[in-house]
Structure 1
Amino acid sequence: MLRLSALYRYPLKSGKGQALQQVGLDKLGLDGDRRWMLVDEPSGRFLTQRAFAHMSQLSAIWNNAGGLTLSAAGHPTLDVPLPGSDAELRGVTIWRDTLRVPDAGDEAAAWVSEFIGKPTRLVQVPVARARTTASGYGKDDDKVAFADGFPLLLIGQASLDDLSQRIGRPMEMLRFRPNLVIEGSEAFAEDGWKRVRIGDVELRVVKSCSRCILTTIDPQTGERSADRQPLTALEAYRKEPDGVMFGQNLVNDGVGRLEVGMPLTILE
């Protein structure tokens, strides 16, 4: 039987992942997932582990009011409230998208600037200001918060096991930052799925996920792999014209709740 074996949320883009037992979904995917982001203060350009590997050690816990609690070794804990309707809007850029979103204020900016090591702002995206997903995939009204391109990422546990066997040591699932992990399928079976249902939620599989240097960062230590794994292994057998593929991007149709242990049904 196919089942949902793990759920992960990443409240801050490129921050630590948070394992969940259950979670709701809204128009932008998992409640609280990648609704916050760090940006370079002068340019508004988004910041990630690709350039700042120590972001993997930044804990950002989302609360039910939509706020965020920031913590990291050597830094005091900071509770950041959800920006109000009167919050300053800041122009930001994420990949090719530009948008204006609420800024979290100067206290949060001082904290994240100290952590990053240069002037940085913390911003949040409400549903009404979310981006549209990549053109040519999904539907015209599909939306995404600060995830790279799509609201949800699914990976089969067997796919990771296959990769780990090829490398010769276990790879952590969190290197790939999925939201949904599925057990009971063959390796890379998810590549052939088009529509699935978990609980009462239907999800569309819209695009394979191309992987980058971020996967070489150990999520526990923040150190990069000296042998460039798992990218080196993936390039040998998962390379396509659009990149090295591992995992599937999804969009949820409608809202609902997910819980670890729920069965997954392949609809198409």
Structure 2
Amino acid sequence: MSGSSGALGGFGLLPPLPQSRAAWLGAAGALALAALLGAAAWRWAGRRAGGARRQRVGTVSGLFVYPVKSCRQVALRSAEVTAMGLRSGDMRDRVWLVITEDGHMVTARQEPRLVLISVNCEDGYLMLNASDMKELRVPIKLPKKNPVHNCRLFGMDIQGRDCGDEAAQWITTYLNAQSYRLVHFEPHMVPRKSRDIFTTFRSTDKISYPDCSPVLIVSEASLEDLNTKMEKKVQIKNFRPNIVITGCSAFEEDSWNKIQIGDVEMKGTMGCPRCILTTVDPETGIIDRKEPLETLKSYRLCDPSERHLYKSHPLFGWYYGIDKTGTIQVGDPVYKIVH
């Protein structure tokens, strides 16, 4: 009937003024309420199971994997987030590793020029490129006759299948160093437990060759804040994050206990304690050993009560474990889950 009254009103058959005024006020009130709720919806995305809410805190501006530990990053538009970190097809995060003949890991801490090696995966091959070197192509599915090495990462054992003599020769020649080998962590191999490295992680947090965590998140604002204190600016590449967030304040990523991106849910576990790897210039492969570490130490040391965890390392970025797997992409909103 209200629809009919509206139609008749166009022909001058209006209902009594008080009723019309009440309808007008009701409609205006409804519009005002809708506008108010619309404005709030950007910030609060409604109730979840258990009375939790989602509060928008930013937007994904970058996604990165590092298929070969310490080599160049691969930027992604979208990524599958697995229990062990980001992947896109055959490009999984840090599943290839350079080792010494006796199995100890080799990273840009010892061989800074590793950061200049470009990485790609295509048609079942891992491809490595570097200046003055012919492209190396290594099959992702290695022959079973290739030996499996026991590798040592930060005092812990983990397996890796040898990628063959050609790969070993390529790495050794490029670095102009002692005899090195390249190994691959295969999906059936037993991962390391993050909790065995830092007790802040959960028993479900597992990794292959990353330092300790499935995912590292850094915000653009944190980098900008650091660069206001630096004589020579540094890049996000210095810090090798998996997910970069924009639209939040500096170091806000430290305070998000639980977050949701797309259908993925993650749990913040601890800050990322920084080392000399951050002082390797990602464009030249030259290690400085001082900056940005010295500047970070001037204002990003942990609380004294947490010194047993972080020692004298400054913190930059935050480690996250995976609660719910799924897919994320650049441009996705980031929500903090608030109980």
TM-score normalized with structure 2 length = 0.75
The structure-2 alpha-carbon separation of the partners of 1:92 and 1:249, relative to structure 1 and needing over 3 Å to count, comes to same
Partner of 1:220: 283
Which structure ranks higher in relative contact order (CA pairs < 8 Å, sequence separation ≥ 6)? 1
| AA aligned opposite 1:161 | E
Partner of 1:145: 208
Is the counterpart of residue 210 in structure 1 residue 280 in structure 2?
Answer: no
Q: Alignment partner of 1:219: what SS?
A: coil
Distance 2:242 2:121 in 1: 15
1:247-266 alpha-carbon deviations (Å, 9 max, x no partner): 00112223321110000000
Counterparts in 2 of 1:84-103, with a 5 A limit?
Answer: 84=142, 86=144, 87-103=146-162
| AA aligned opposite 1:15 | C
CA contact (8 A) 1:60 1:69 kept: yes
Counterparts in 2 of 1:152-167, with a 5 A limit?
Answer: 152-167=215-230
CA contact (8 A) 2:195 2:203 kept: no
Partner of 1:34: 94
Counterparts in 2 of 1:237-252, with a 5 A limit?
Answer: 237-240=299-302, 241=307, 242=310, 243-252=313-322
Partner of 2:69: 13
Structure 2 regions of 5+ residues with no counterpart?
Answer: 1-56
Distance 1:22 1:232 in 2: 34
CA contact (8 A) 1:83 1:104 kept: no
Partner of 1:75: 133
Distance 1:156 1:259 in 2: 16
Shift of 1:142: 1.9
Q: Say how many residue pairs are matched.
A: 265
Shift of 1:221: 1.2
2:79 to 8, 20, 23: 23
1:76-128 alpha-carbon deviations (Å, 9 max, x no partner): 00111124461321111011211222111112111112122221111111233
Query: Which has more radius of gyration?
Result: 2
Is the counterpart of residue 109 in structure 1 residue 179 in structure 2?
Answer: no
Deviates more, 1:253-262 or 1:7-16: 253-262
Distance 1:155 1:264 in 2: 13
Partner of 2:247: 184
Give the superposed CA RMSD: 1.6
Distance 2:325 2:123 in 1: 17
Q: Alignment partner of 1:134: what SS?
A: helix
Detail structure 1 runs of 4+ shifted over 4 Å in the superposition.
none
Partner of 1:52: 111
| AA aligned opposite 2:172 | S
Distance 1:223 1:88 in 2: 33
| AA aligned opposite 2:295 | A
Distance 2:280 2:205 in 1: 30
Partner of 1:231: 293
Shift of 1:169: 4.1
CA contact (8 A) 1:83 1:102 kept: no
Distance 1:187 1:49 in 2: 27
Structure 1 regions of 5+ residues with no counterpart?
Answer: none
Is the counterpart of residue 61 in structure 1 residue 120 in structure 2?
Answer: yes
